[in-house]
Structure 1
């Protein structure tokens, strides 16, 4: 047995010197302390890296071009009242959503020291009607001022008249001439709200093709297949389109998502400014560690602004947007999808890195200590021989 252990000891690559021949120095102690701190720092860094999640990305062609795209919006216009703003959606296929009411909520931003008011646009947002005088005949049928259709024969309220004109795609020039609006005090309400602001929150559902959605003043309608905004009806002469974007995203959020327009502001340097945001949308699929899939999008943006001239009726088409103040978001979805998958880092990789850290620092510290020790010994020897002045 003793002979077998003797043969085994011949393979020992880590031979140990006798304790009596070991020399401990102050320089060696300093190198040991510094290398120990360095090893601990590198170990903690490697541990944090190992515990973090790794994101792997891959690209493939988008197979879901026919689906809808959800756009989350949260914008504030400090100097434009809610009654003046129209939210419209257009795309290259010719489909339009005029004066979008669903899935949006508008908050009146009243002047300082006045209480704010929130209401949902799932109802008629412009219906600022006062209480109707009780003496009115409930079975009455008032005039729509030439805008009657087969579906709309009677217009008993100011809102009904305005809706009839919108259905006809006509511009309602003067509300003072409409008896229903005078009776309900609509014009007075309009004048009171001219100095108010508006905050719009909610979401839009659009086709997954190139298009735009815009927040622009005036009632929107089509005239001879041209999308127009009528800003003369409300009698507002100045249009300050300064705004703040609290949030704008195409789809849901996911870990690590960056939305470049969040908490950004734009100040109109002149009257009737037009702000354009050209957005390139990249569909994204995010898969977390538990296998949950989030279908969303990332985007990049380019900004542009300029002053435009206004008129009573301002036209806008998909390819010609001259002359309309407001905020325009022009988006173009990419045909390529980015798939992001969360994964854990391998333990063997972590173990290999830790061994490399400890071994590397220990080896370098040993070389440094050896150089320091022999340099000091050489200098002491020269001093003893008097070779150093």
Structure 2
């Protein structure tokens, strides 16, 4: 028996509108990278393996949810199930099979967006400017004192 097969489409949960997924990938580029991992993949039994070959697929499914907060309310934008896949081909002495092992992960990936206020932005900006000013002052002081010390040594004065 030849257990060669092609996986045309494999997904879990509700289908997500492709336009919404494209819009979300602009802000979250890592979203959906393992969404269609097995789509259009062919698992063909080459002749070097022989006749009785078992093809096994190990899939771990993880729920991913994107939540935004606007005006104190939470809105769920996307709820999808991503999966990782690993396939192996082994020689068997019994009946060959094509196996799919599913493992539902108890973990969930939760992506939240917390908008910051204008006062938070201004506070961070002031902290950055103050930090740059302080570091520039320290470097200027070290540079100035080093030059003064070099001049004293050159003139032969006691330190």
TM-score of the aligned structures, taking structure 2 as reference length: 0.60
Matched, 1:281 2:53: no
The answer to whether structure 1 residue 307 and structure 2 residue 91 are counterparts is yes
Distance in structure 1 (CA, Å) of the matches to 2:8 and 2:122:
45
Q: Does 1:259 align with 2:34?
A: yes
- Gaps (5+ residues) in structure 1? 1-230, 232-238, 310-321
Measured after TM superposition, the shift of residue 376 of structure 1 is 0.4
Q: By how many angstroms is 1:250 displaced?
A: 1.8
- Would you say the 8 A contact 1:274–1:307 is kept in 2? yes
C-alpha distance in structure 1 between counterparts of 2:54 and 2:43, whole Å = 11
Quick one: distance in 2 between partners of 1:281 and 1:366? Answer: 54
After the TM superposition, which residues 1-389 of structure 1 pair with which residues of structure 2 at under 5 Å, given as runs? 239=2, 241=4, 248-251=10-13, 252=15, 254=21, 255=24, 256-259=31-34, 261-262=37-38, 268=45, 270-271=49-50, 272-288=52-68, 291=75, 293-309=77-93, 323-326=95-98, 328-334=99-105, 338-385=109-156
Q: CA deviation at 1:381?
A: 2.1
Preserved CA contact (<8 Å) 1:278 1:331: yes
Instruction: Report the counterpart of residue 28 of structure 2 in structure 1.
Output: none
SS at match of 1:365: helix
CA distance in 2, matches of 1:265, 1:346: 51
Structure number, greater radius of gyration:
1
Q: Is the 8 A contact 1:280 1:299 kept in 2?
A: yes
Q: CA RMSD in A?
A: 3.6
Q: Aligned partners of 2:79 and 2:130: how far apart in 1?
A: 45
Task: Judge conservation of contact 1:241–1:274 (CA < 8 Å) in 2.
Answer: no
Which structure features the higher share of strand residues? 2
Q: 1:289 to 1:280 in 2, by over 3 A?
A: same
Structure 2 gap segments, 5+ residues each: 25-30
